[in-house]
A and B are shown apart, each in its own frame.
Chain A
Amino acid sequence: MAKGVWIVAEHRDGALRNVSFEIASVARKLADELGEEVCAVLVGSGVEGLAPELGKYGVDKTYVADDAMFADYTTDAYSEAVAKVVKENDASILLLASSVQGKDLSSRLVGKLATGMASDCTDVKIADGKLLAIRPMYAGKCFGEIVIESYPQMASLRPKVFPIVENAKAGAVVKFDAGIAADALKTKVLETQKDSSGKVDLTEADIIVSGGRGMKGADEYKVIEELADLLGAAVGASRAAVDAGWRPQSDQVGQTGKVVSPNLYIACGISGAIQHLAGMSSSKYIVAINKDSEAPIFTKADYGVVDDLFKIVPEVTAAAKKIL
């Protein structure tokens, strides 16, 4: 019978990514309810030394495939390795992060393992001994409760939604050979162009200061950038601002942009169209600054200021400077 809660650990530049600890923490909680083990799969080159760190967040055993062919993430190599070990061990539940890499890998595994998956979940629990996954659908206009009728029961978890919980377990390392012939791989990474701005990515930011149509122009983002710099925040934008050419596509938050879950989301001059709310309503705290007291963003905001953003935002920066 299928057993064990499994995760795929994600790493970059020689370190485990925070999402790995988030999913490990969730897996531990589910495994304790089921009275089962948490197993992690770690695929990479020179990554064996990272395995014990997963033990800190509740992983009992980490299956490591360490080989030069895994130096770059490629769908074909990684999915083959994960599928092999998960199948051999008849995993009951398999969790990944709904990060860029996790989205690619998890959906390939749906095909490879011929199973079902709940994507980009904001909550997961055990009901009647099975995984019950809860996820936004239709851009968050409704939520679905999903049960997976096949094994492994897969879910990908929205980054930054689930808390990281320390819970030390053995973190034992089990090495495995993925048995992949290097010439079987059909894709390769030719180039990695790092974002030279050194700014934190929207999906990884703890704080986001975002501007919309009310910004009125590209140069006016200066007031937002000043506040963002002070708070160590990333700058986001609504679709209206991106379509107007004020900000690059990569800054767009929303249904056709990025989905973010920071601790604090400050929406400036954003009315809160449904397609924007889809991208940010799982933020922990939302601040709305908007002239229009009827703007829908206020229905989502924990704190609202009805006023001109160009009057308020510089004052927020000034007030924050005093205490930070």
Chain B
Amino acid sequence: MNIVACIKQVPDTEALIKVKADGSGIDEGGIKWVMNPYDEYGVEEALKLKEANGGEVTVVSLGPARIMETIRTALAMGADKGVHVTIDEADAYNTAAALAAAIKEINPDVVFCGQRAIDDDSGQVGSALAELLGMPQITIITGFEVADGKVKAVKPIEGAQLVIESSMPCVVTAQKGLNEPRYASLPGIMKAKRKPVDVKDVAALGISVEPKAKIVRMTPPPERAPGKIIEGDDPAAKAAELVKLLREEAKVI
């Protein structure tokens, strides 16, 4: 089976994010870069699928030179080869278009993506990619299996969960709960160094870098007005005061 997992390098969840003074973007100084957590679930599921059915896992990623480290991490987990599309920045549509151009050549049976990246939090790339590849999609899934040449996936929705079937090839996007991603083993890390990574420039793929969704400005989050601390020693009195404020001032209960 021919399997693709798309991965993105993002700032670690604990990273402090500072907006540049001119609002043009974030200050990348001091940031620890990691694989997007949702993409880890995608890589893990891709590896499990390969282990069950045989085949090959290719990881595809888009970004500047620093993302090679994250591609190596996926190779150390067990992926067979990598594709690095070099680009400094891309909006969701251009990212999907560049991934689609790179993935078409691989002709995959299943493409795994994370349900969203935790940096821009857009959650658009998996579905836009599916459309541009002309494949069906099942997004934000917590269960995955292949049987009789079809994909069956579990998708939680508000107050229920769905079991959805799709023909192959298809794109699925991984949600937390799908699996427990493995750690790279030491032999895995050694092997990863010798695995092939194909580096392609985005221009060579014929993809525009003009964003359709343009960030005109970034700002720090709005400050919330300082709250009221309810003082006192008696828990019952403090609780009564809180309930009174919620009822009479906030009017939310």
Contacts and interface: CB of A to CB of B under 8 A. Distances in A.
A14 B200 CA distance: 49
Given A100-B140, A190-B164, A192-B160, A145 B215 contact: yes
Interface string A130-166: 0010011111111111111110000000000000000
Nearest to B225: A302
B29 interface: no
Contacts of B239: 305, 312, 315-316, 318-319
A303 B230 contact: yes
A275 to B, nearest CB: 5
B156 A250 contact: yes
B229 interface: yes
Contact of A101 (B26, B93, B157, B177): B157
A104 interface: yes
A316 B240 CA distance: 7
Given A108-B137, A119-B122, A207-B253, A319 B240 contact: yes
B224 A299 contact: yes
B60 interface: no
Interface stretch (B49-57, B79-87, B113-121, B183-191): B113-121
B247 interface: yes
Given A191-B163, A195-B160, A104 B91 contact: no
Contact of A304 (B126, B135, B176, B227): B227
A137 B119 contact: yes
Interface residues of B, number: 83
Given A75-B137, A104-B139, A116 B162 contact: no
B129 A111 contact: yes
B179 interface: no
Contacts of A114: 93, 212
Given A304-B229, A316-B239, A111 B213 contact: no
A263 B197 CA distance: 49
B245 interface: yes
B92 interface: yes
24 contacts: A104-B127, A107-B126, A108-B131, A110-B93, A110-B96, A110-B131, A116-B213, A116-B214, A120-B123, A138-B121, A140-B221, A142-B26, A147-B214, A186-B170, A187-B164, A203-B158, A206-B252, A285-B252, A302-B250, A304-B230, A305-B238, A307-B238, A319-B236, A320-B243
Interface of A: 74-76, 79, 99-101, 103-104, 106-108, 110-112, 114-120, 132, 135-150, 186-195, 200-201, 203-204, 206-207, 231, 249-250, 252, 255-257, 263-264, 274-275, 281, 284-288, 298-308, 311-312, 315-316, 318-320, 323-324
Given A101-B157, A138-B120, 12 more contacts: A75-B136, A116-B93, A120-B121, A132-B216, A195-B159, A263-B252, A300-B227, A303-B229, A303-B230, A312-B239, A312-B242, A319-B239
